[in-house]
A = this chain, B = another copy of it.
């Protein structure tokens, strides 16, 4: 969605290429988009006057387009940020698999949930590290919810809670599947 890009451009001017890596690295755990989605989206945002770009010629690298958010883009972002979110079903394939786990081989199912527990535990550990870093480096900014640092930290906390809860649930399911006599 365009607002993900606007949210990044509200912090700094970026190229489509930069946005692609920012979406992957920073918005990674709650949003996603490949470059093939981002370039056309930027064109659409520009058409609507929410962003503008400035061409930058480079000698050693390919020329690029640096996008900035416009005043009108900022207004749109402000309005969107406080508008109610439409209720959309959370789609989670693993939970769907859990729903049909009773028809499957219990050992194989248990192994899959253990693997997912590991994956989410790994992410949790990564987020905990980032959290430590943020709390050290941004101590002052985090006291003020009007700073971009606070907003980043808030999303990180969501990731922490989400991954912790997810890993725990996987462990809970795996434990029961392992405990059963059937294979």
Show the binding face of A for B, using Cβ within 8 Å: 1, 3-4, 6-7, 10, 27-32, 74, 77-78, 80-106, 108-109, 111-112, 115-116, 119, 144-148, 150-152, 154-155, 157-158, 161-162, 164-166, 168-169, 172-173, 176-177, 179-180, 182
CB < 8 Å neighbour of A27 from B32, B99, B182? B99
- Supply 27 A–B pairs (Cβ within 8 Å), ascending by A: A1-B93, A1-B96, A4-B96, A6-B100, A7-B96, A27-B96, A27-B99, A28-B89, A29-B90, A30-B90, A31-B91, A31-B96, A32-B89, A77-B103, A78-B104, A81-B109, A82-B97, A82-B104, A85-B93, A85-B116, A98-B155, A98-B158, A101-B145, A102-B146, A154-B172, A157-B172, A162-B165
Identical copies in the complex: 2
Q: Give the shortest distance, in Å, between A111 (CB) and chain B (any CB).
A: 8
Do A102 and B31 form a contact, CB below 8 Å, given A80-B97, A169-B158?
no
Residue in A85, A105, A108, A179 whose Cβ sees the most chain B Cβ within 10 Å? A85
CB-CB < 8 A to A1: which residues of B?
A: 93, 96
Q: Are A146 and B182 in contact (CB under 8 A)?
A: yes
Instruction: Return the 4 tightest CB-CB contacts between A and B, nearest first.
Output: A32-B89, A82-B108, A81-B104, A30-B95
Residues of B within 8 A of A168 (CB): 161
Q: Which residues of B contact A164 (CB under 8 A)?
A: 165
Among B92, B146, B180, the residue within 8 A (CB) of A31 is: B92
Determine if A84 and B162 form an interchain contact, defined as CB atoms under 8 angstroms apart. no
Contact B150–A99 (Cβ < 8 Å): no
Give the most central of A32, A102, A104, A116: most B CB within 10 Å. A102
